[in-house]
Amino acid sequence: MESPGVALMLWALACLSGPSTGFPNGKVTEHFPKHTVEVNVTEFKPGDRVKVSLSGPVFEGFFLQARNAENLEGPAIGSFALADRKRSQVLTCGRVKNSAVSHTSKSKKSHLDAYWIAPRDAPKRIQFLVTVVEKFRVFWVKIPGPTISQPNIPTLATPVVTEVTVGTSLPVSHLTQPFSASDCGSNKFCVRNPSDCDPGARDCFFLSFKRDHVDLIVVEMSGPSDGYIAFALSHDQWMGGGDDAYLCISDSHHVDIKTASLTGRAYPEFDSEPALDEMSWRLADGLIQCSFRRRIHFPALQGRFNLDANYYIFMADGEVSEGGMIHKHYRQPLITDGKFNVTGPAKDIGGSRSPLLIKIHGALMFVAWMTTVSIGVIVARFFKPVWPNSLLFGEEIWFQVHRALMVMTVLLTGASFILPFLYRGGWSDQAGFHPYLGCTVMALAIFQPIMAGFRPPPQAPRREIFNWLHWSTGTTARILAVVVIFLGMDLPALNLPDPWDTYTMMGFVAWHVGTDVLLEIHGYCLIHKGTVTNLYFSLH
Ligand SMILES: *[C@@H]1O[C@H](CO)[C@@H](O)[C@H](O)[C@H]1NC(C)=O
Ligand SMILES: *[C@@H]1O[C@H](CO)[C@@H](O)[C@H](O)[C@H]1NC(C)=O
């Protein structure tokens, strides 16, 4: 069933109650329905197939059934067979199987046929009743259709029907156009990603809060997704810990609006009844849109936060599998860069999908393994003869520079290394090989200065072994570090623009390799000219 919401409500209104009675919050007006039900017979016998046609002004939903004309409060009679399997479905009303026909989607229609099959124990007269949802909140409830009877039975007068406007608590497809950002910052509090994007655009995530009454807030959310979009209010920058979440879940041409508590990194705990009003939605152009109204204060309900306080706001999107099961967001959620009071002064803010700690982690690692380490190696490899006779603080200049740069590399790596652990609060299972290789690089980076500290003097026979170990450990660390950076760049937490991040990084690697090769060639030429001694190629 594609639209459980309206179908369920129609079922409740039409299946259970008698005609035109007892509609909750109903505003009864004096209009007459414009929809009609027609049949191709006036008499029937048990087992007969009767063609029933519903037509009239464009409608979205309907619910058709037959009842005993002398007891309209009684159960549904007979069963239906479908003439239009795409747009209609049979439902079970009471205990009688297939005793009602309803819509499958809220697509606009003006005509629909179905076949009614008279049961063996049919009453003398039956009457068709139809409930029609013309549009949002306009229902024609229990429009009496024709009465048909078994042979030789006089017909009955038909009861009166009324148009009923029902205040529904179920989400309905009511929105007709993308949300507007024109009030953002002046009249409503907006979060947009990318900043200042148009909520109708294909890549725009939009969330707004607008005060409706003293104690009511209208929330609008839209974003590109074919699964779900969601936002959550949180006291901290980590999801979980009872965060207050609102999800708009697309379920084959229908959107469910749900509230949930996020505890830990587990599946959200959905509330059975979202305490929201005026839920409506729209699916168009690859965007999910939904809006609802909620009270600012929720003293009684667990899980909902009061809106007049400061929160971090998260926005996420992800996929939904068959059956409405939601999947974890496949990219990093958007997080506002501070706590905000959505009921306070109207603001128009952006946010970031990349946490600051992770950005710093990436930046420091990049500086360490693309800059300081490379210069340090080049200095040790090619700059020994540049200042052959001058010392700096009692050591040769190339060595001082090399050591300073390498110590800086290790310090930068160490400082940067702890940031993801701080951000995740532990080990991340979702980063693939990146953390494993990263730890290897960290270990090599720590091992390298320790080994250098215990190096044998330049003339010692074991010096050769040290030279090779020092070189191979360093080179392994550098190569691994480049691999780790490539892996890390594509992780969602950094949210870099694919594929240009990879190309840029390739450019850097090419530049470094190219520089090394050029310097090697240069050095080789110098040796052949005999302008430098072997000192040039010996390590300190
Ligand atoms: C009414 O329609 C049904 C279903 O198409 C058909 O079986 C039946 O013969 C029709 N009856 C008349 C009188 O046309
Ligand atoms: C949030 O804004 C509302 C309305 O201006 C105000 O009443 C409330 O005190 C604010 N909350 C905080 C924590 O600043």
Digit-by-digit pLDDT tens for the chain (540 residues) are 334 444 445 555 555 444 433 233 333 333 456 788 889 888 898 889 999 999 888 888 888 889 888 887 788 889 999 998 888 888 877 677 888 888 888 788 889 999 999 998 888 888 888 888 776 555 556 667 778 888 876 555 444 444 444 434 456 666 778 898 888 988 899 999 888 889 988 889 999 999 887 788 999 999 998 889 999 999 887 777 778 999 998 876 778 888 888 876 667 777 777 778 788 888 888 899 999 988 888 765 567 888 889 999 999 988 887 666 777 776 778 888 889 999 988 888 887 777 788 889 999 999 999 999 999 999 988 888 777 777 778 788 888 999 999 999 999 999 999 998 888 777 877 778 999 999 999 999 999 999 998 888 888 888 888 989 999 999 999 999 999 999 998 887 777 877 888 899 999 999 999 998 998 898 888 777 755 544 444 444
Superfamily of domain 172-349: Cellobiose dehydrogenase, cytochrome domain (2.60.40.1210)
The structure tokens listed for 499 are 């594929």
Distance from residue 335's CA to the centre of ligand 2 (Å): 21
Q: How far is the CA of 297 from the centre of ligand 2 (A)?
A: 12
Tokens of 463: 């010096």
CB 287 within 8 A of CB 243: no
Ligand 1 neighbourhood includes 504 CB (under 6 angstroms) = no
DSSP annotation of 499:
T
Mutate to test the pocket of ligand 2, among 214, 343, 347 (most ligand atoms within 8 A of CB): 343
Report domain 4-165's class: mainly beta
Task: Quote the pLDDT of residue 423.
Answer: 80
Residue 492: is the preceding peptide bond cis (ω within 30°)? no
62 contacts 133 by C-beta, under 8 angstroms? yes
Other CB atoms within 10 Å distance of the CB of residue 479: 11
Task: Determine the pLDDT at residue 536.
Answer: 46
Helix (H) or strand (E) holding 519: helix 500-529
| Å from CA of 63 to ligand 1 middle | 22
- Whether domain 356-536 has CATH 3.40.50.300: the reply is no
pLDDT at 25: 32
CB atoms within 10 A of CB 354: 17
CA angle 71–73–75, rounded 5-degree value = 90
Task: Please tell me the predicted confidence (pLDDT) of residue 115.
Answer: 95
45 pocket-lining for ligand 1 (C-beta < 6 Å)? no
Tell me, what's the pLDDT at 372?
93
Q: Report the pLDDT value the prediction gives residue 255, as an integer from 0 to 100.
A: 85
d(CA 139, CA 53): 19
Chain centre to alpha carbon of residue 242: 18
> Which ligand has the shortest distance to the CA of 214?
2
- Which of these, 223, 280, 285, lies nearest to 256 by C-alpha position? 280
The rounded distance, in Å, linking the Cα atoms of 355 and 332 is 9
The C-alpha atoms of residue 389 and residue 83 are separated, in whole angstroms, by: 99
What is the CA(97)–ligand 1 centre distance, in A? 22
Residue whose tokens read 């009453």: 123
CATH 2.60.40.1210 residue spans of the chain: 172-349
CB distance 41 to ligand 1 below 6 Å: yes
pLDDT of residue 24: 31
CB atoms within 10 A of CB 234: 22
Residue entry with tokens 């990879």:
502
Residue tagged 């000219």 (tokens): 529
Provide CATH 1.20.120.1770 ranges for the chain: 356-536
**What are the E-state strand segments in 319-397?**
320-321, 325-326, 334-335, 340-341, 348-349, 391-392, 395-396
pLDDT of residue 19: 40
Task: Pinpoint the residues of the chain covered by CATH 2.60.40.4060.
Answer: 4-165
